[in-house]
Amino acid sequence: MEETTQTGLIQTTPHSHATATPAIRTEPKETRGGIVVSWARHLDEVRAAQRLRYDVFAGEMGARLSTPIPGHDMDLFDNYCEHLLVRDECSQQVIGTYRVLTPVQAKRVGSTYSDTEFDLTRLRSLRERMVELGRSCVHPDHRHGGVIMALWGALGEFMVRNQLDTMIGCASIPMLHNGVVSGDLAASIWRKVQATHLAPIEYHVRPRLPLPVEQLDGSLEVEPPALIKGYLRLGAKVLGAPAWDPDFNSADLPMLMRIADLPARYRKHFLGT
């Protein structure tokens, strides 16, 4: 059975231990700095992304992952997502990844991952052209601007080609701060972004398992993680207070970014317009 998106680009039905054909029909392209960007087309490529995710989330962040294949971060949404990869040109090792859940695939699986952490009722008017970004990570030896800019460039191309205009996702803040597991870091970052980057009330969402920010020290003078700072520079908005994700040992901020809100300099860089 064949299923197509609104633009007729996804042509396989996800099933156990498989993935949809990527929506972008381009050959892998080299970018500056010796890295190559591509969309996963085969299961072994998805597995490489899942291994990187496991190394970062479990190995670095201390996430407690329940997975059918040791050393891989896997969940039910993977089979319905497109997987964006950045490889080192010389070693061909996957050094960066995102997964992308399109509106059609979100309907098929029944929800987005963000729906499991937040009540997204107020976003229902956006869902037809809204993708979910998730499981973003970069290998620790390659955390320079080139990898994340390459990922964002491919995502921008994806959005334009598929006539999509809104991206959502959960941006993680580690609970570990100065060697101590505490929510104070997340509470302080929430206090800061609430004052400067909160979305209009009509888009606010509610966490299903809230981080108890009122009981935490939100007065720390700290900066958000680099990825969150990058999203904010691109015009992203925070949709509400963070949820606590005990499995990933993190607090998750719900974030929304719309193509129309991209600052002009980034619009030209990522979209060519």
DSSP assignment of 185-212 equals: HHHHHHHHHHHHSBPPGGG--EESSB--
Residues 6+ apart with CB under 8 A from 260: 165
Q: Phi then psi for 103, rounded to 5 degrees?
A: -60, -40
Which residue, among 104, 251, 89, 244, has the nearest Cα to 172 in the 3D structure? 251
Q: What is the pTM of this model?
A: 0.88
Q: Cβ distance 134 to 97 under 8 Å?
A: no
Residue ranges covered by each domain of the chain: 29-271
- CA atoms of 37 and 39, how far apart (whole Å): 7
User: pLDDT tens string for the chain (273 positions)?
Assistant: 333 333 333 333 333 334 444 444 445 565 667 999 999 999 999 999 999 999 999 998 888 998 999 999 999 999 999 999 999 999 999 999 999 999 999 999 999 999 999 999 999 999 999 999 999 999 999 988 789 989 999 999 999 999 999 999 999 998 877 676 789 999 999 999 999 999 999 999 999 999 999 999 999 999 999 899 999 999 999 999 999 999 888 999 999 999 999 988 888 777 776
- CA atoms of 222 and 214, how far apart (whole Å): 18
Which residue, among 126, 131, 263, 103, has the nearest Cα to 203 in the 3D structure? 126
Q: What is the pLDDT of residue 32?
A: 63
Based on the number of CB atoms within 10 Å of its own CB, is 90 exposed (0-12), middle (13-18) or buried (19 or more)?
exposed
The domain over range 29-271 is classified in CATH as 3.40.50.800: no
Q: What is the pLDDT of residue 154?
A: 93
- CA atoms of 239 and 123, how far apart (whole Å): 10
- What is the distance between the terminal CA atoms of the chain, rounded to a whole angstrom? 37
Structure tokens at 14: 């996800």
Q: What is the pLDDT of residue 145?
A: 78
- CA atoms of 180 and 165, how far apart (whole Å): 39
Q: What is the pLDDT of residue 162?
A: 93
